């Protein structure tokens, strides 16, 4: 891996009313590139990766911290190859916290010099593991004032995934009962906090080491999935179940624990794995037909709504998430940071599960 190298330029043009896709003065920067799929050793920190022109709705962000999500390590190993293989080399990374370095001609929501945080959508090709990342304006919001860049970078992708499922899909309301399967992970912990902040009664499953943290976050019941039979221990039924684990057993239990009219949402939708196996042309229709079949089946057998939910950019959601962070109602603890130059070691630690919580890469 190359030694630490600086960006080739550090002055920026501001918004131009005349140019649609204008040229920033930054032309190349450091970035972690994935030339082909494989283990952590395939990651390359290159010093001369092109920074493309900004489109009118885009923002150039000087990255200070980028968190590692399971999607990053899975993408590195070949998940989503039907989409990414023809586009290699790609840059990994979804989450970011940093400063606005330049904005496209139509951007009004953020300005140069402002501290921002946000996340790219799951299929973005130019990721955030770079000194300069490009996100659309609706993928960014002001960084929560009291958060460091490291703390802020842990939030957006996980919290927006939970937000999409709970607020956009299930439309949870005050007084409803929500079950989060896998509350110990980043998405699950965010989901518990968002549900509590929405006035819901929340139960969750997690490892023994996470129980105290989840009860302190407002969960009324936290069941250790390693020692207790979840379906017999959970008290009552639920209006919404967010299943971050999404294996057949958790799916069966989640559906069994729902009230009629409730929503079951899994984060492990099969669209990507089926398109990887059968290609985009056949895989997508197969995935759609499997989903429709399951939706119909569970509507008839249990009277519930069944969903595969995915992270999606949502500027209003991200603003709400920022407000929850600032109000002390939402936080995802960071277990360890690595400098970007040690990205291989950081990915290795996630692969081997030697660091169970959030890992963040810092860019000087």
Site of interaction with ligand NAP (CB under 6 A): 69-71, 122, 158, 161, 181-182, 184-188, 205-207, 210, 225, 244-245, 267, 310-311, 356
Tokens for 120, please give them: 């790219």
| Three-state SS annotation for 150-215 | HHHHCCHHHHHHHHHHHHHHCCCCCCCEEEEECCCCHHHHHHHHHHHHCCCEEEEEECHHHHHHHH
Express the helix, strand and coil content of the chain in percent, nearest 5 each: 35, 25, 40
CB of 295 to ligand NAP, least distance (A): 17
Question: CB under 8 Å to 347, separation ≥6 — which residues?
Answer: 40, 43, 68, 72, 73, 76
Q: Are strands 58-67 and 95-103 parallel, antiparallel or unpaired?
A: antiparallel
CB of 174 to ligand NAP, least distance (A): 25
Identify which of residues 42 and 355 has a Cβ nearer to ligand NAP in the complex: 355
**Which one, of 132, 133, 94, 134, lies nearest residue 7 by Cα?**
132
Tokens for 157, please give them: 């992708």
DSSP line for 215-248: HHTT-SEEEETTTS-HHHHS-S-EEEEEESS--H
**Which one, of 33, 120, 31, lies nearest residue 69 by Cα?**
120
Question: CB under 8 Å to 316, separation ≥6 — which residues?
Answer: none
CA distance 244 to 181: 6
| Element containing residue 72 per DSSP (H, E) | helix 70-77
CA distance 15 to 22: 9
Identify which of residues 99 and 348 has a Cβ nearer to ligand NAP in the complex: 348
Identify which of residues 56 and 218 has a Cβ nearer to ligand NAP in the complex: 218
CA distance 54 to 112: 14
Identify which of residues 53 and 169 has a Cβ nearer to ligand NAP in the complex: 169
Pair 330, 193: CB distance under 8 Å = yes
CB of 310 to ligand NAP, least distance (A): 4
Identify which of residues 176 and 210 has a Cβ nearer to ligand NAP in the complex: 210
CB of 144 to ligand NAP, least distance (A): 19
Q: Which residues pair with 60 in a beta bridge?
A: 102, 134
CB of 165 to ligand NAP, least distance (A): 9
CB of 222 to ligand NAP, least distance (A): 9
CB of 185 to ligand NAP, least distance (A): 2
Identify which of residues 61 and 187 has a Cβ nearer to ligand NAP in the complex: 187
CB of 315 to ligand NAP, least distance (A): 17
CB of 252 to ligand NAP, least distance (A): 12
CA distance 25 to 167: 40
CB of 149 to ligand NAP, least distance (A): 19
Identify which of residues 95 and 320 has a Cβ nearer to ligand NAP in the complex: 95
Identify which of residues 117 and 225 has a Cβ nearer to ligand NAP in the complex: 225
């Amino acid at each position: 891996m190359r030694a630490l190298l600086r960006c080739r330029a550090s002055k920026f043009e501001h918004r131009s009313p005349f140019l649609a896709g204008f040229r920033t003065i930054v032309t190349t920067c450091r970035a972690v590139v994935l030339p082909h799929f494989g283990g952590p050793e395939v990651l390359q920190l290159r010093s001369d990766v092109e920074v493309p022109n900004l489109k009118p709705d885009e923002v150039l962000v000087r990255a200070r911290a980028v968190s590692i999500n399971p999607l990053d390590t899975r993408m590195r190993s070949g998940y989503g190859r039907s989409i990414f293989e023809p586009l290699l080399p790609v840059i990994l990374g979804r989450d970011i916290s940093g400063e606005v370095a330049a904005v496209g001609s139509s951007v009004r929501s953020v300005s140069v010099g402002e501290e921002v945080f946000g996340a790219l959508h799951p299929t973005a090709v130019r990721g955030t593991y770079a000194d300069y990342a490009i996100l659309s304006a609706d993928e960014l919001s002001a960084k929560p004032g009291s958060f460091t860049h490291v703390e802020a970078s842990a939030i957006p992708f996980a919290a927006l995934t939970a937000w999409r499922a709970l607020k956009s899909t299930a439309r949870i309301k005050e007084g409803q009962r929500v079950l989060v399967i896998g509350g110990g992970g980043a998405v699950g912990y965010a989901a518990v906090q968002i549900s509590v902040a929405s006035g819901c009664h929340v139960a969750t499953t997690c490892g023994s080491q996470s129980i105290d943290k989840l009860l302190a976050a407002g969960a009324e019941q936290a069941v250790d999935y390693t020692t207790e039979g979840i379906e017999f221990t959970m008290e009552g039924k639920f209006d919404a179940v967010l299943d971050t684990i999404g294996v057949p057993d958790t799916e069966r239990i989640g559906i069994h624990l729902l009230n009629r009219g409730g929503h079951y949402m899994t984060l492990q939708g099969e669209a990507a794995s089926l398109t990887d196996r059968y290609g985009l042309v056949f895989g997508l229709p197969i995935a759609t037909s499997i989903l429709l079949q399951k939706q119909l089946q569970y509507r008839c057998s249990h009277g519930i709504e069944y969903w595969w939910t995915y992270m999606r950019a949502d500027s209003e959601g991200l603003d709400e998430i920022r407000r929850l962070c600032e109000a002390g109602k939402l936080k995802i603890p960071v277990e360890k940071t690595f400098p970007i130059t040690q990205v291989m070691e950081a990915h290795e630690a996630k692969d081997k599960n030697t660091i169970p919580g959030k890992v963040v890469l810092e860019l000087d």
